[in-house]
Structure 1
Amino acid sequence: MKIETNTVVGLTYELKVSKFEDEIESAPFSVEIRDEEDPFYFLFGQSGLPEKFEELLNGQSQGEDFSFTLAVNEAYGEPDDELIINLPKSQFSDQQGFNPEMLAEGNFLPLMDENGYPMQAKILKDLGEELLLDFNHPLVGFDLHFDGKIIEVREASKEELEHGHVHGEHGMHD
């Protein structure tokens, strides 16, 4: 079966990132490895992944290897200064499930958007009564280098299509 809209795709891969600064590209460094013990599964066409990522996998089959690079503008784009905001520390209390260790600079806070979807914010600076948070995707500003293998392609179930995500062993349980 080939990868197409509404198929469930399972991948193993290594993701490396690089960045251009002052016309010089940094050496790619590894930021994520998904192996056979922890493969990555997604619903093709509803993944929320960069469009170019899906475009480059479209039509491939189980067992095929892939290797490609997404430039910044094909991946998550450049950082948006409007997504860097100050919020009162009081919003991150024990009652909301946060502990003081979670509020350290450099940490990512697990949050939910207004629709209940998970998101995260990186703590850039502790300003005393407030935290300076970055809501940009952690991979903004980077070229993404993928090397991997397609380990499974199958038709999505009716429930997966209705819910917009993978169910079962490699997906969400609901």
Structure 2
Amino acid sequence: MSIKDDSVVQFNYTLRDEQGEVLETNDGLEPIAYLHGHDNMMHGVEDALTGKDVGAKFSVTLPASQTYGERNEDAEQRVSVKHLQGASVWKPGMRALINTDQGQRQVTIVKMGKFMATVDVNHPLAGRELTFDLEVMDVRDATSEEIAHGHAHGKGGHQH
């Protein structure tokens, strides 16, 4: 079965930077599962997986616009230190989590004060050309419930 819209796809990946250094991988872990064609995956990765079959193993290098987006140099905000999650002592360059209306977001500390911090809200990998080594582990038709919910259920997907 080939990957198409309304397919539940399970895949393994290794993410590499411009120099080929591994940044992330799920090697040795459960495959990632998502519902294809429902904006649950980076557009560049989803496009690369379209039409592939179980067992397909390939690499794709994608520009920032198709992954984490371009860097916005004006994307700094001041937040209260009490909203930073992940450490008890903060220094510039450290990454923190903050809660937003759209869920948790990773930020990078630019400047620390006693009560307020200046943070860069760009994704840490924004603005970078990235290479994804992908392996399709499983493809199946989505259930009507998965399509209605807009995400994959079960192993590697949403658990509810």
SS of corresponding position for 2:155: helix
> What is the deviation of 1:103?
4.6
Given the alignment, which residue of 5, 8, 32 partners 1:40?
Answer: 32
Q: TM-score, normalising length from structure 2?
A: 0.85
Q: Whose helix proportion is higher, 1 or 2?
A: 1
Aligned CA RMSD, in angstroms, stands at: 2.2
Alpha-carbon distance, 1:166 to partner: 1.8
- Find the counterpart in structure 2 of residue 58 from structure 1: 50
Over the matched positions of the two proteins, sequence identity in percent amounts to: 29
Q: What 5-or-longer segments of structure 2 have no aligned partner?
A: none
Give the whole-Å Cα distance in 2 for the aligned partners of 1:99 and 1:58: 37
Distance in 1 (alpha carbons) for counterparts of 2:89 and 2:141:
40
CA shift in 2, pair 1:69/1:99, >3 Å: closer
For 1:3, the equivalent position in structure 2 comes to 3
SS in 2 for 1:101: coil
Q: Secondary structure at the match of 1:152?
A: strand
Aligned to 1:17: 17
SS at the partner of 2:58? Answer: strand
2:61 is aligned with 1:69:
yes
Aligned residues: 159
Contact 1:15 1:30 in 2 (8 A): yes
Superposed CA deviations along residues 20-42 of structure 1, whole A, max 9, x for unmatched, are xxxxxxx2211111125232111
Q: In the TM superposition, what whole-angstrom CA distance separates every residue of 1:62-103 from its partner, at most 9, and x where no partner exists?
A: 1111211002233323211343211122445xxxxx575275
Tell whether the 8 Å contact from 2:6 to 2:142 is kept in structure 1 after alignment. Answer: yes
- Which of 130, 151, 154 is the aligned partner of 1:168? 154
Q: Which runs of structure 2 are paired with 1:4-153 in the superposition (5 Å)?
A: 4-18=4-18, 27-92=19-84, 98=85, 101=88, 103-105=90-92, 106-111=94-99, 113-115=100-102, 117-153=103-139
Gaps of 5+ in 1: 19-26, 93-97
Question: Could you give the per-residue CA deviations for residues 109-147 of structure 1, whole angstroms, max 9, x where no partner exists?
Answer: 152x325x3432233332221112222122201111011
